[in-house]
Chain A
Amino acid sequence: MKDLKYLMYFEDLLQSAHNELIRQAKDEGRICAAFTCENLPEPLMNLPGMFSVRLFAPHTTSTDMASYYMTSLLCETSRALLERSIEGGFNYADCLIAADGCTMMNRAAENMALLHTMDEGKPEFFYEFMEIPLKADENGLELLKLQCRNHILGPLHEKYGIDVSDEAIRKAVEEHNHVCRLIREIGDFRREDDPRITGYEFHILTLATYVAPKYLLIDKLEETLEELKTRKPDGKKWRARVAVVGSEIDDTGMIKLIEDCDTYVCADRFCFGSMPGRDPIVIDEDSGEDIFTQVCRHYTMQGQCPRVMNMEKVYGRKQYINDIAKEYKADGIIYEQIKFCDPWAYERMMGSVMLRDNYGFPVLSVDRPYNIESGAGQMRTRVQAFVESIEIKKLQGGK
């Protein structure tokens, strides 16, 4: 297929945690809120005069310093973030808002705070740690509202004078939803039998919306969507289509590796993915709820994070995977997790068993390093073997 006009631009953007759009937004005088978890309501950190960046650490090799503080037994994502933070890679941020979601990410953020990795020479800088609801229910919603008031809106207004009014939130939601609609519309092309966008390309675009100021991406995303409407697919014969499910994939090499095995990644249910992270927030003007409550409701009820423990959600997450896999015509599912990640270790186990036994999908269940380059050979072998098994199954008429 003809290269997307901005693909290289987006690829370049993802080469560094401190990318050129962050610099541009900072030059414009905007406040940058760094955050660490998909459960945090993004629009509340994208109010007028500010923007959010979800921390990632591209091209991480050594995590020696972070391993001293957190040992080599913690998940590599949390160590990579701490390492990059100690190196000064996140010095652009004006605050860090962390969720006490998964333990390891929380510890990474706490180490950042104790080591003062991001606040040097910034008297207004603040670190906030939030409680995230453990269940998708009304009590959880009330908790999230209180937490957002106390740990996001309050400090942002107090320290940086950010407007946290309903009007400001509404504006942020509109911008957020615009980006989400663009991403989902682009992602919809993955349903096609002969898709006009690869999973890798889509991942690049989606990832950019997490790690760069959204408002600076809109024009290029709009142009890319228009370009895709007339893009001609190249008729490539993919050996299989898979949905990738699991923990953080902020390393573009992972999806590329899978697609290099002639396996099309048609759906992305992982942290930093578009499902459900780029679902627009549905605002019901007739509900009688204020905009702030509706944003919090969306994040409480729509999330697919494995740490949400009520059984409706536990079963619902597998149903969700089944639904998207069918909708996007997946032949199989790859459940992946960063090594040492506890929530996804259990979710991967239960999910892979249920998707196989209850829903009839072939499932590959793997753990992986943060930077896939350090384990590419092993992963490639696993994916190739999985695709072969799907092919054999197809030849045998699904048996």
Chain B
Amino acid sequence: MAFRKAKKIINPRRRKGEQTFGHLYPTDGKSKVLKRREWKGVKDTFYDYTRWLYIMSILAKFVAKPRNVKAMFRYRWMANYLAVPHMMDKFTLGLRDEPLRITHIAMNFVIKDIAGLMDDTFRGDRNTGNDEEFSRHCVLTDENGMTAFMMGFDETKAILREIPTMFVANLLTQHSAEHYIDVAQEYGLPGDVCPMPETELGLSIDDDLPVLGCCAVQINTTCDGSMMGNGLIAKRLDEEGIPTYQLAAPIRHREDDVQEYAAKEIKAAIKFTEEMSGEKWNWKRYFECADRVNNTTRNRLEWLDVNSTDYPQFVGAVFSLYNDTNYLGNCGRSPDFPPIDRKIMKLVHQGYKRKTMMAPEYRHRCIVWGVQPQYNIHMLTWMINCWGVLPLTDMLSMVNTRIIADEDTAENREQAYYDMGWLNENMIMRNRTHGGYKVLVDELWEFCEVMNADMVMMWEHMSCKALVGMHGMFEEQGRERGIHVVWVSHDLCDPRITSRQSIRDQFNQYMRTVLREEPLDPTIENIPDDTMW
């Protein structure tokens, strides 16, 4: 079967400001940041600068509190947060007009949300703020777990302490996880497990996780490794006097015969949280949150609809990270998200009407599948700039599409446990990597049809056993369907195993040797960013 070809679309509008980006990268082999910021034309550079100031204001407010300064000296991973403004530059390279604004609005809100989470964390943390009363109203939850079971609590806060320590830290600086990976391995963990739970475990062993909360709720989140790492972390929490509850999310989440189990687990987790926090579950609040979850679902589906056209607007790493924050971390609990969604939606529609493009040319329509290298997730922006390959969506964004009950009735109160169970089972990543091969393999090809994609860029996270266990099937079925499957291997958060350039090289090689194409911007085919944050 012949391979598909995407329609080539030339951007009729010349990009304002700089056209190539290679010269922005330092060549001294030492620098951690770009030589200078990108010139995007007067209007967009000014906008970009104001957003940079906004980020600085968030950071300034954060460091104005003594407990947060104390945390800077107490926790090794806090040093990564010096790189926040630099992270934004990685995501906005080459962007103008609506996509630039969408990226800033989404990511700035993510930054604000994380800053709030960290502020709360340090407030209750025994090692820094040590506000015992506040700590009594906090529940530690898993980084990759849906916080659905917290949707009906007004006062009690969910603290996802692995988000700032592992997940975001590695977005900011590529070497952030290495020390903790080494700590876990020195303790006896083999080096072939996924480095994400490995890092989280290393943080716990190294006594570098904030300690707070009336209790913790652990979930068998994304994989065997994640689930198993919880045991030792719970033991550590036990020693700190923080009781844990293990909330089981069934693996085969599409099957009808596991839903009752999931619902009962949620019910038990809520009961445990009520007992530990002393707060009663509030149905009114739950249904308000459920309404916001539905709002998020509808918005995301609409953005995906736009991404199915010739002129996508909200794509790439930022699309993924915003969904991550909105679905997992927030799960309808914050009323601050819907206004942000609305702002983004307005820009998406505007950009679509104006046929705004992010590169001089679109050559391929690509679905990004698999698990991203956290330290190189901005490679999706690079794909657009370097090769004109448009990342329409990614596996982590293809999460729940079901509308849950959001009206407070007696019947819906019972249904709510099933809905929360469903959300919990379908948390980001595991809703694809687990649940049988159909959700991982078959549905990928369905998305390729719907979104008119001719290419799949497959992040092959080498320690993700659920994903690589279907390697051959992806190869064979991709060939049968005439879809280019570009394999890009990496080790999630450890650049010592696969550097950023060696990840890009795998993509470069496919583009040059299989597709026989030349890059749109050859100056960034090779980037000397091994030492950069």
Contact = CB atoms under 8 A, between A and B. Distances in A.
Given A71-B462, A103-B434, 8 more contacts: A68-B472, A69-B473, A71-B469, A104-B469, A131-B252, A139-B248, A309-B248, A311-B238
- The 5 A-B pairs at the shortest CB distance, nearest first, are namely A107-B469, A69-B472, A346-B228, A134-B248, A342-B224
Interface size, A (range):
35 or more
Interface stretch (B7-15, B70-78, B186-194, B351-359): B186-194
Given A73-B468, A345-B225, A353-B187, A133 B248 contact: yes
A39 to B, nearest CB: 12
Interface in B183-230: 187-190, 192-194, 218, 220, 223-225, 227-230
B478 interface: no
A70 B437 CA distance: 13
Contacts of A111: 469-470, 472-473
Interface string A326-369: 00000000000101101101111110110000000000010100
Contacts of A309: 218, 220, 227-228, 230-231, 246, 248
Interface of A: 68-71, 73-75, 78, 100, 102-104, 106-108, 110-111, 114, 129-131, 133-135, 139-140, 142-143, 146-147, 150, 306-307, 309-311, 314-315, 337, 339-340, 342-343, 345-350, 352-353, 365, 367
A71 B468 contact: yes
A349 B187 contact: yes
A150 B434 CA distance: 20
B261 interface: yes
A343 B472 contact: no
A102 B224 contact: yes
Contact of B268 (A74, A130, A139): A139
A142 B252 contact: no
B257 A73 contact: no
Contacts of B251: 100, 106, 131
Interface of B: 187-190, 192-194, 218, 220, 223-225, 227-232, 234-235, 238, 244, 246, 248-252, 255, 257-258, 260-261, 264-265, 268, 434, 436-437, 462-463, 465-466, 468-473
Contact of A139 (B228, B265, B465): B265
A310 B246 contact: yes
Contacts of B257: 131, 146-147, 150
Given A114-B437, A311-B246, A346-B193, A142 B472 contact: no
B217 to A, nearest CB: 12
A73 B235 contact: no
Given A73-B468, A133-B248, A311-B244, A142 B261 contact: yes
B246 A107 contact: no
20 contacts: A68-B472, A69-B472, A70-B469, A70-B470, A100-B434, A103-B434, A103-B469, A104-B465, A129-B436, A130-B252, A131-B250, A133-B248, A134-B227, A142-B264, A143-B250, A306-B228, A309-B231, A311-B234, A311-B246, A349-B187
A314 B248 contact: no
B219 to A, nearest CB: 9
A206 to B, nearest CB: 26
B225 A143 contact: no
B332 to A, nearest CB: 25
A342 B193 contact: yes
Contacts of A348: 188, 190
A352 B188 CA distance: 8
Nearest to B229: A346
B471 A71 contact: yes
A259 to B, nearest CB: 25
A346 B201 CA distance: 10
A62 to B, nearest CB: 16
Contacts of B218: 309
Max count, chain A CB within 10 A of own CB: residue among B231, B246, B264: B231
A147 B194 CA distance: 29
A349 B188 CA distance: 5
Nearest to A69: B472
B191 to A, nearest CB: 9
Nearest to B250: A131
B370 to A, nearest CB: 12
B235 A314 contact: yes
Given A311-B234, A346-B228, A367 B190 contact: yes
A78 B466 CA distance: 12
A104 B470 CA distance: 10
Contact of B223 (A103, A108, A143, A349): A103
Contacts of B249: 134
Nearest to B218: A309
Contacts of A75: 465
Contacts of A139: 248, 261, 264-265, 268
Contacts of B470: 69-70, 107, 110-111
Contacts of A315: 235
A186 B188 CA distance: 35
Contacts of A310: 246
Contacts of B231: 309, 311, 314, 346-347, 350
B189 A349 contact: yes
B465 A346 contact: no
Nearest to B225: A342
Nearest to B267: A139
Contacts of B238: 311
Given A71-B471, A343-B228, A107 B258 contact: no
B468 A346 contact: no
Contacts of B192: 73, 339-340, 345
A103 B226 CA distance: 12
Contacts of B255: 131
A367 B185 CA distance: 14
B472 A307 contact: no
A107 B436 CA distance: 8
Contacts of B468: 70-71, 73-74
B246 A73 contact: no
B246 A74 contact: no
Contacts of B261: 131, 133, 139-140, 142-143
Contact of B228 (A142, A143, A345): A345
Contacts of B189: 345-346, 349
A343 to B, nearest CB: 5
A64 to B, nearest CB: 11
Nearest to A354: B235
Nearest to A70: B469
Contacts of A102: 224
Contact of A350 (B223, B224, B232, B258): B232
B466 A107 contact: yes
Contacts of B227: 134, 307, 309
B412 to A, nearest CB: 22
Max count, chain B CB within 10 A of own CB: residue among A69, A140, A147, A339: A69
Contact of A131 (B246, B258, B463): B258
A339 B190 CA distance: 9
A147 B250 CA distance: 12
B220 A350 contact: no
Max count, chain B CB within 10 A of own CB: residue among A133, A143, A340: A143
Given A104-B465, A131-B255, A348-B188, A342 B472 contact: no
A73 to B, nearest CB: 5
Max count, chain A CB within 10 A of own CB: residue among B218, B463, B468: B468
A260 B470 CA distance: 39
Given A73-B192, A307-B228, A347-B228, A342 B465 contact: yes
